[in-house]
Structure 1
């Protein structure tokens, strides 16, 4: 078996354990009349930014926490917080603050019983290995398996949203950057 085969098998194992009903619960919270905010640190944050871009492509008003043009988060908004361990201080602290302010939370973590997982109005458990040792173990370094699987999981969520909202590939392409 090649390393490629091993990595694909690991991702497939994790994805087979992601619960479709958890993605559906998150889908219910994301609507076009709400602003969507995205939060994550490190590589998990990069996966979250990719999700933000896809949401923009399918017509959502979306902001990434920490960017200079991000407005204040308000009651009625949705915050998508990504942390493999569910304990990342910067992610957890801001998610707690948003929750206290009446923001709906979508938590994405490898551990649904983690502090972040418990904050979610919808929680998506992606049980890939993290640097803290949570989740399905991996031959890959640190949280690579979690990050790969989060990318796929959030792309599935975007696909569900685009189908629900009747957004075609051509419509999404029209919002893609033309400054390349």
Structure 2
């Protein structure tokens, strides 16, 4: 296959991704985000990059959002939400975070390929995403490692932003007023 053919195939995979994601799970996550005092996001590797971009958009929406591990991130407490993006649901560094969030009586949400994983079972809310474990390519994708999951994360989080914009009657101009201006 040539490069553009690969691109077309990836595009088709992403088009099919929406068929795997449950509207009910997505709406439950949105409701939890909107009712949380603060939203904390975490993920490892490329999943972490995708969820960090989501935290930025939540801030643009006027929500109090933080990335776990940043120096300016306050402590998690009851009434907060810890959103974990993890394909496998077994990322060793993330499991203790879910356990600790539970001990603080914070809500835990997992966006994952594996809702029956350790993190999925620790979560109050799970959103099941398409993809295959990093170790293998599956029937859903020709892409290596967790690429389909990570790409779908980015698009799913952008769709959540659009839904929150609709619910809160926020437009791009209002979000732009919260955009960084020291660039």
TM-score bracket relative to the smaller structure: over 0.9
The equivalences for 1:149-160 within 5 A come to 149-160=152-163
Q: 2:24 aligned with 1:21, yes or no?
A: yes
After TM superposition, give the deviation of residue 40 of structure 1 in Å: 0.7
CA contact (8 A) 1:48 1:82 kept: yes
Unaligned runs of 5+ in 1: none
The equivalences for 1:132-151 within 5 A come to 132-133=135-136, 136-151=139-154
TM-score (norm 2): 0.92
Using a 3 Å threshold, how does the CA distance of structure 1 residues 153 and 53 change in structure 2: closer, same or farther? Answer: same
What does residue 79 of structure 1 align with?
A: 82
**RMSD value, Cα:** 1.6
Unaligned runs of 5+ in 2: none
What does residue 65 of structure 2 align with?
A: 62
Off by >6 Å, runs of 4+ in structure 1: none
After TM superposition, give the deviation of residue 33 of structure 1 in Å: 5.9
The number of aligned residues is 180
3-state DSSP of counterpart to 1:31: helix
What does residue 111 of structure 1 align with?
A: 114
TM-score (norm 1): 0.94
What does residue 12 of structure 2 align with?
A: 9
3-state DSSP of counterpart to 2:89: coil
CA contact (8 A) 1:82 1:109 kept: yes
1:3-43: per-residue Cα shift (whole Å, max 9, x none)? 11100111122222111111100011112661110111111
Q: 2:38 aligned with 1:35, yes or no?
A: yes
Stretch deviating more after TM superposition (12-21 or 104-113):
12-21
Q: 2:128 aligned with 1:96, yes or no?
A: no
